[in-house]
Amino acid sequence: MITELLTIIQDEDIRKAFGARLKALRKQKDWTQKELANQLDIRFSQLNKYECGMHVPPIERLIQLSDILDVTLDYLVMGDRFEQQPLHNARLIGRLKELEKFDNDDQETIIKMIDAMIVKRRVEGAVTPFDQQHTNG
């Protein structure tokens, strides 16, 4: 993590990407710069410098930001989308940990079942608005 922070501080493109990510996360929460700055106990002008990619917060502030914005440090700092939204459901986390102990064939079967459920839900979501258009039209 320290190496990554040094890279961010030195690389303007990475700083700007970090700032854009920070801004997008703040907007997802529907917060103004002033609201987030108040939560961080900093001036909004400092937060603006972070969002513009001019400065990078110290590690303590990065940890605070990741907690407030509900993202991992990896995502906040480097944009690792895989960890963008950590799981919060303890039952689900426990089940997934148990599934890791299964053999590869069983894991693959369960993954296919989960994929099928996800596709079903997406299809239902895509079809519903169309159905509503025809019943309302």
Query: What one-character-per-residue DSSP string does 73-132 give?
Result: HHHHHH--GGGSS----HHHHHHHHHHTTS-HHHHHHHHHHHHHHHHHHHHHHHHHHHHH
pTM for this entry: 0.56
> pLDDT tens digits for the chain (137 residues)?
556 555 566 778 888 989 999 999 999 999 999 999 999 999 999 999 999 999 888 888 999 999 999 888 878 887 865 544 566 678 888 888 898 899 989 988 998 898 888 788 877 776 655 555 555 55
- What's the count of helices (H) and strands (E) in the chain, helices before strands? 8, 0
Task: Please give the CATH architecture assigned to the domain spanning 2-83.
Answer: Orthogonal Bundle (1.10)
Q: Contact 14/8 with Cβ under 8 angstroms?
A: yes
Domain extents in the chain: 2-83, 90-136
Position 47, amino acid: L
